[in-house]
Amino acid sequence: MADDIILAGITTCDTVRKAQRWLENHGIVYTFLDLRSDAFVRHTLGEWMEQVDWSDLLNKRSTTWRNLDDDEREDLDEARAMSLMMKHPTLIKRPILHYGDIIEIGYSPDRYEELLTN
């Protein structure tokens, strides 16, 4: 099980750190994928977008979103959203827990418990 778990996020994000602490406190081994790293490629985002709606991945409450030009925020479709998230990884909601065919967006201790300790 442990080899299959990927936690994706940004190292400076407090919520990502909470998720990391939860996993570590429960003895769950995971691989951390920094959304800002070269290892995060269009392929990975594409896989996630096949399993969850792109609008669930796009963080419209982020400072990055608010700082975008109006023309970048208008008339979004899947391709444009993917392009924006690749250009600005902080537009991706985080953390993302990828376990098998499960893509869990955000952090909830109860949800992690349900997914990972049963």
**pLDDT tens string 76-92:** 999 999 999 999 999 99
Per-residue pLDDT band for 101 (boundaries 50, 70, 90) equals confident
pTM score > 0.85 for this model?
Answer: yes
Instruction: For each of the domains in the chain, give its residue range(s) and CATH number, in order of start.
Output: 2-116 (3.40.30.10)
Which is the catalytic residue, given 6, 7, 12, 13?
13
pLDDT tens digits, one per residue of 20-51: 999 999 999 999 999 988 666 677 888 899 99
Of 1 and 12, which is predicted with more confidence? 12
Report the C-alpha gap between 69 and 113 in whole angstroms.
Answer: 39
88-93-99-100 Cα dihedral, nearest 10 degrees: -70
Q: What is the pLDDT of residue 4?
A: 87
Q: Is 41 a catalytic residue?
A: no
Per-residue pLDDT band for 9 (boundaries 50, 70, 90) equals very high
State both tokens at 70. 């109006």
What kind and span of H or E run contains 79?
helix 78-87
- Amino acid at site 37: S
Report the C-alpha gap between 93 and 61 in whole angstroms.
Answer: 9
State both tokens at 76. 């979004």
